[in-house]
Amino acid sequence: MNQDREEVKEVVELANRMLDGRLTAKDQARLEHLVLSSQEARVAYVEHLHLHGVLQESTFRQVETLSEVLKLEPTASMPIRKRRGLPHWLPIAAAFVLMGLGWAFGRWHVPTQVTYARLVEVKGARWDGNRLPTVPGVSIAAGRLKLAAGLATIEFDRGARVTMEGPAELEIVNAEKCFLHEGTLTAHVPPQAVGFVVDTRHARLVDHGTDFGVSVGGEGVAQVRVFDGKVELQHHVSGRSLELLTRQGAQVGNGDFERSEREEDDTGALSRRHQVPEGAGVMMLSTAEGGGRAGYAWSPGTDLHFSKQLLILKYCDRPSFRRKAWLGFDLTKLGDRKVKSANLTLMFEATGWGYASLLPDAVFAVYGVNDDSLDQWRSDDLQWSSAPANDVDGAGADLSKAVKLGSFTMPAGVLDGAFSLSGEALRTFLNDDRNRFATLMVVRETSEIGGGGVVHGFAGNEHPMLRPPTLYLEFEE
Residues 408 and 346 in one domain: yes
Q: Tell me what pLDDT residue 269 has.
A: 26
Q: Judging by beta carbons within 10 Å of its beta carbon (0-12, 13-18, 19+), is residue 400 exposed, middle or buried?
A: exposed
User: Which residue, 179, 167, 131, 136, is CA-closest to 154?
Assistant: 136
pLDDT at 267 over 50: no
Higher pLDDT, 465 or 201: 201
Q: Are 183 and 166 in contact (CB under 8 A)?
A: yes
pLDDT at 94 over 50: no
Residues 293 and 220 in one domain: no
**CATH number, domain with residue 193:** 2.60.120.1440
Q: Are 180 and 198 in contact (CB under 8 A)?
A: yes
Instruction: Using the 3D structure, point to which of 230, 260, 290 is the last residue of a domain.
Output: 260
Is residue 12 situated within a structural domain? no
Residues 235 and 290 in one domain: no
Q: Tell me what pLDDT residue 112 has.
A: 56
CA distance 342 to 284: 10
CA distance 468 to 434: 24
Per-residue pLDDT tens digits for 380-409: 999 999 999 999 999 999 999 999 999 999
Per-residue pLDDT tens digits for 198-217: 999 999 999 998 889 999 98
Is residue 88 situated within a structural domain? no
Residues 183 and 310 in one domain: no
Per-residue pLDDT tens digits for 167-182: 899 999 999 999 999 9
Residues 288 and 434 in one domain: yes
Q: Tell me what pLDDT residue 261 has.
A: 58
Q: Tell me what pLDDT residue 55 has.
A: 54
Instruction: Using the 3D structure, point to which of 260, 295, 317 is the last residue of a domain.
Output: 260
**CATH number, domain with residue 329:** 2.60.120
Higher pLDDT, 27 or 317: 317
**Lowest-confidence segment of 176-185, 236-245, 261-270, 456-465 by average pLDDT:** 261-270
Question: Who's near 228: CB < 8 A, 6+ residues apart?
Answer: 210, 211, 246, 450
Question: Who's near 381: CB < 8 A, 6+ residues apart?
Answer: none
Is residue 323 situated within a structural domain? yes
Is residue 301 situated within a structural domain? yes
Q: Tell me what pLDDT residue 388 has.
A: 98
Residues 313 and 244 in one domain: no
Residues 249 and 347 in one domain: no
Is residue 72 situated within a structural domain? no
Is residue 10 situated within a structural domain? no
CA distance 365 to 91: 77
Q: Tell me what pLDDT residue 25 has.
A: 74
Instruction: Using the 3D structure, point to which of 206, 225, 260 is the last residue of a domain.
Output: 260
Mean pLDDT, the chain, integer: 81
Q: Tell me what pLDDT residue 72 has.
A: 42
Residues 229 and 375 in one domain: no
Residues 308 and 445 in one domain: yes
Residue-range definition of the domain harbouring residue 369:
282-475
Per the structure, the count of domains in the chain is: 2
Residues 243 and 298 in one domain: no
**Lowest-confidence segment of 128-142, 249-263, 335-349 by average pLDDT:** 249-263
Residues 152 and 297 in one domain: no
Residues 314 and 453 in one domain: yes
Is residue 38 situated within a structural domain? no
Per-residue pLDDT tens digits for 54-65: 555 444 444 444
Is residue 5 situated within a structural domain? no
